[in-house]
Amino acid sequence: MITPYSITALILAYLCGSIPTAVWIGQAFYGVDVREYGSGNAGATNTFRVLGKKAGIPVMLIDIAKGWTATYLAHFIGTSVTGGPHSDLVSYQLALGITAVMGHLFPVFAGFRGGKGIATLFGMVLAVNIQAALLCIIVFVIVLLVTRYVSLSSIIGGFTYLTGVTFFYNQYTNNLVVIFGMCICVLIMVTHQKNIERLLKGKESKVNLFKRKKTIGEEA
């Protein structure tokens, strides 16, 4: 149901997703626009690559919070429309979460040049199905520790979510969430096309997990 509440929530979700965390933190604390270095994306992965973990970790956590916050707005829509939990809660969650991810991809506050949306997407997943989200975290961390490829970890994590909501946690979900899981896989494959090409050629950059790396801001 389209109501003033749902329209307002969609706008808020987009604006929340549009907060260019990587750009603002990079410029404020390092005098660096991360979009001019590395992969050119304004996301957590490129922030880790360009500025290191001191900048990358806050960017990642805030981007996750963006997706979770936008998705959680669905609870307020349901209450405002019916006076209690709404039967279409999952539909609202997916709509708001996807809107936030689109905001991250095309942020109005940063010239519509954003990141790949993985952290924001994970925040959305966390709000929709926490069990499947935790499974994604475990798989992501294992793949990252073994390969040190963030892109590969993200891709496998996305397919893990689809597997989780389809086979392991289907008692907590419905068909919409499974379809959403399929869309996640497609989105990840599209946004990581260049990463996949570099992985196949053996040219993808690995992250330095434990050694401190001199950042561009420090070199300047």
Number of H helices, E strands in the chain: 11, 0
Instruction: Please answer whether residues 45 and 120 qualify as being in contact, where contact means their C-beta atoms are separated by less than 8 angstroms.
Output: no
Mean pLDDT, each 10-residue run in order, the chain (220 residues) = 79 96 95 91 88 91 96 75 56 90 94 90 89 89 90 90 79 72 88 89 79 56
CA–CA distance, 172 with 164 (Å, rounded to integer) = 11
User: CA-CA distances (angstroms) from residue 172 to 44, 86, 131, 133, 211?
Assistant: 29, 16, 9, 12, 40
CA–CA distance, 100 with 30 (Å, rounded to integer) = 26
CA–CA distance, 45 with 118 (Å, rounded to integer) = 9
pLDDT at 84: 47
Q: How many CB atoms lie within 10 A of CB 175?
A: 9
**pTM tops 0.75:** yes
Token pair of 99, please?
């809107």
DSSP 6-44: HHHHHHHHHHHHT--HHHHHIIIIIS--GGGSTTS--SH
